Each structure stands twice: as structure tokens, then as C-alpha cells.
Structure 1
Amino acid sequence: MNKKTSDKSNSKENEFPQNGKRFSIDLESLDGSEKFILDINRGNINSLKITYQTRWGNSIPLVRVDLNGPPHKNPDGVILNCPHVHIFKEKYRDQWA
């Protein structure tokens, strides 16, 4: 689905976050019927630790990309180093990478 920034997003505030900071950009489908949020988080101690995440509505994570962070353990016990991508699964939400 194609998306665009919503009219309430302020592009001046959407600069890449400083260490330990984050920001969110409101997105919507082209017809305005679906609302999404793009979150960008930057690590405090490790400034190269970055997370990009899209959410549907206010809380359902759809996709999350983790860069330069700690390893991740999937529900089946498989451990993945960074970078890795989390994709929403109904039973596990964003716990699966």
C-alpha cells in the first residue's frame, strides 16, 4: 500500500534524531482511510544503534528494522545478530525477526 505523510506531520521536526532521541512521522494511505506511524529511534550510548519501525494505528508494529543493536532471540530460540528485520506475525506480534 502506498503511503504519504499526513497533513499534520511537521517536516521541520522530522530531522534525524540526536543520540538518545526519537521521533515519529504520521503517515496515511493515499486515500486517507488507513493511518500509520513511522518511528525512528537512535541509541544514547551507541549512536549507531538505530531502529526504524512502522505501526498501524497507534500500537500494532508491522515492520521493525534494528541496526547495530544487540542480538535478537526468536521465539523458536534462533539468535540473530544485527542488522535484522522484525515482521508482524499474528501470534507473536513483532517478536519474530
Structure 2
Amino acid sequence: MEFETLEYIQEEKELVQEEIDFPRYGEKSTENAVGINSKEKYLFDINRGRVHLKKVTLQNRIQKTIILLRLDIGGPPHSNPPIDDEHAPEVLHGPHLHVYSPEFGDSMAYNLNDPFLNKINPRFDIEKFNTKSDIELYKSFLEFCNVVNMPTIIAQFL
């Protein structure tokens, strides 16, 4: 992982909104945040499944299109790109976290128990991603992404 990418991921961020209307099943929303030191603009996306109600995608972006982190829950298996000619692509089943790299963009993902994730946020307990509540999952994702001000989440008719 390129050092600058890790700096973006590890930077403390502050959400612009104090209250968030959590999207219903089948809906999406995007929240804005600002890096405390860099003043970089960050975006946090929530995408909830319509047909598969356990499917949730949460992502943290910069510069509108660069996905730094994407957490996929309840989706299909994911095939990582081949690292070299000697190794077949790894296929991940179950929840996984995509982490941006200059070489692979956001196509490289890791199982949630992969020790590599501890390098991204050593203070975060990855077990917090094992929740049945989409709202708690989103809060945990914000914490993993170093958001310092947790919003009030308004959830009507989930």
C-alpha cells in the first residue's frame, strides 16, 4: 500500500452533518466529511440491498471517484486480481473489505479476519463488524475510517 493512501485512510475525519437519515432497503445515501488536518473532502456511501436485505455496501471515497475502503456484507464471492503469474486469484466468500492500492485500485479485498486490516487501524476491534444491525455496522465502519464525531442516525421504516 502506498504511504499516501494509508495517510488518507488513517486521517481523522469529521462528518459535516450531525444527523443522518439512514437509507431504507434498496436505497443509497452519501455523507460528507472533512479531514481534520488535510481538509481533504471525504465521502461516505451507504448502499442497502433491495432484494437481498442482508446485502450492505459501505464505502469511503476521496476526490469523488477514488474508493479508499469498501465493506461488502451479504454479497456474492469476490475474486481478487492475480498478484503474479504463479498464483491464481484468491476468491473470498463472505464479508470482506476492499482496500485501495495504486496497483489494483479498489479491486483487492481482504477477509475481515485478515491480520493486514490491523495495520490500517490497529486500535479498531474488527469484531465490531460482526453485527446484525446495519446502523451499528455503519457506525463501526465510520470508527474504522477514523471519523471522530459520530452522527445521530435517524432510521424510519427500515
TM-score by length of 2: 0.56
Q: Is 1:20 the equivalent of 2:30?
A: no
In structure 2, how many angstroms separate the alpha carbons of the residues matched to 1:64 and 1:56?
A: 12
The partner residue of 2:75 within 69, 72, 80 is 69
Structure 2 residues without counterparts, runs of 5 or longer:
1-10, 83-88, 110-158
Tell me which moved more, 25-34 or 75-84: 25-34
Q: Which runs of 4+ in 1 moved over 6 A?
A: none
**2:107 & 2:95 partners in 1: Cα distance?**
15
User: Does 1:2 pair with 2:12?
Assistant: yes
Name whichever structure is richer in strand by fraction: 1
1:1-97 paired onto structure 2 within 5 Å: 1-6=11-16, 9=17, 11=19, 14-31=20-37, 33-76=39-82, 77-97=89-109
Greater relative contact order, per chain length (Cα 8 Å cut-off, separation 6+): 2
Letter in 2 for 1:82: G
Q: Distance in 2 between matches of 1:55 and 1:70?
A: 22
Aligned to 1:18, the other structure's residue is in SS state coil
Query: What is the count of residue pairs matched by the alignment?
Result: 93
Residue 93 of structure 1, CA deviation: 0.7
Letter in 2 for 1:94: D
| Identical columns (%) | 33
- SS of the residue 1:26 aligns to: strand
Query: Normalising by structure 1, what TM-score?
Result: 0.88
Q: Helix, strand or coil: the match of 2:21?
A: coil
Gaps of 5+ in 1: none
Cα distance in 2 between the residues matched to 1:24 and 1:42: 12
Which residue identity does 1:35 align to in structure 2?
A: K
Describe the superposition over 1:13-66 as per-residue Cα deviations: whole angstroms up to 9, x where unpaired. Answer: x22211110100000012462110000100110111001100012110000000
Greater radius of gyration (CA): 2
RMSD between superposed Cα atoms in Å: 1.4
